[in-house]
Amino acid sequence: MKRRTLGHLLTATLSLALMGAAPFVRAQQVEAPDALIKRVSAEVLDNIKTDKAVKAGDLTKVLALVDSKIMPNVNFTRMTAAAVGRNWRQATPEQQKKLQDEFKTLLIRTYSGALAQVSDQSVNVKPLRAEPADTEVVVRTEVLGRGDPVQLDYRMEKTATGWKIYDLNVLGVWLVETYRTQFAQEINAKGVDGLIASLVQRNQSNTGAGAGAAAAKKP
């Protein structure tokens, strides 16, 4: 996956369900998934464009952006479990937590270098093909800027707290499926602890000016 996709990856964000108040009754209102993608994508892109530290790939700033804008609105447990595959259920709670933490760090470090490439991009959200009763949908978008449009799709689920992303399709490649193949090979060879150790080592090596480019060569 290319370095320039982090700006696109970071547009894959959702906001928490909006809380509205009707007269005498407090009710929960949930934005449609495509509306959430459109609104919050614009907010994240604006943040990247205006914060020089984020644009330069400052990891502390990137982490703060991800934690505040992205992680509360992504079912990262489901994303990590799907990437680990059938071995997830055999992992202990401590192993699962370590896998989530290291997977999150891997994604951020791998694509942080692409933040510097964000300039005048915007997001075009395509009409949503879904029924009102659907609890899982695919929101399809294009990232528009210099060059050809970049396909960026989202698998989303409806939860008690609103719509959340659990998988991304960047340039025709679903993120979870890509990592599942790689993680399965490592688990088969070294077990769950071996995968965790491999992720820790990779995250430690993915630092420095050239780390983003090196990491981006790996799925």
Residue 186 in this model has a pLDDT that exceeds 90: yes
Assess if residue 31 is contained within a domain: yes
Of 116 and 216, the structure prediction assigns the larger pLDDT to: 116
For the chain, how many structural domains are there in total?
A: 1
Assess if residue 71 is contained within a domain: yes
- Between the alpha carbon of residue 8 and those of residues 2, 37, 105, 171, 184, the distances in Å are 11, 12, 17, 10, 26
What integer pLDDT is reported at residue 113 of this predicted model?
61
Assess if residue 219 is contained within a domain: no
CATH of the domain at 181: 3.10.450.710
Q: Return the residue matching tokens 């499926």.
A: 177
Residue 44 in this model has a pLDDT that exceeds 90: no
Assess if residue 42 is contained within a domain: yes
Residue 51 in this model has a pLDDT that exceeds 70: yes
Q: What share of the chain is helix, strand, coil (3-state, %, to 5)?
A: 55, 20, 25
Q: Which of the four pLDDT bands, split at 50, 70 and 90, describes residue 135?
A: very high
Residue 207 in this model has a pLDDT that exceeds 90: no
Phi, psi of 123 (to 5 degrees): -115, 130
For 83-133, how does the pLDDT look when each residue is reduced to its tens digit (9 = 90+)? Answer: 999 999 999 999 999 999 999 888 887 666 666 667 778 889 999 999 989
Assess if residue 79 is contained within a domain: yes
Q: Which of the four pLDDT bands, split at 50, 70 and 90, describes residue 198?
A: very high
Q: Residue 158: beta bridge partners?
A: 163
Domain range for 119: 5-214
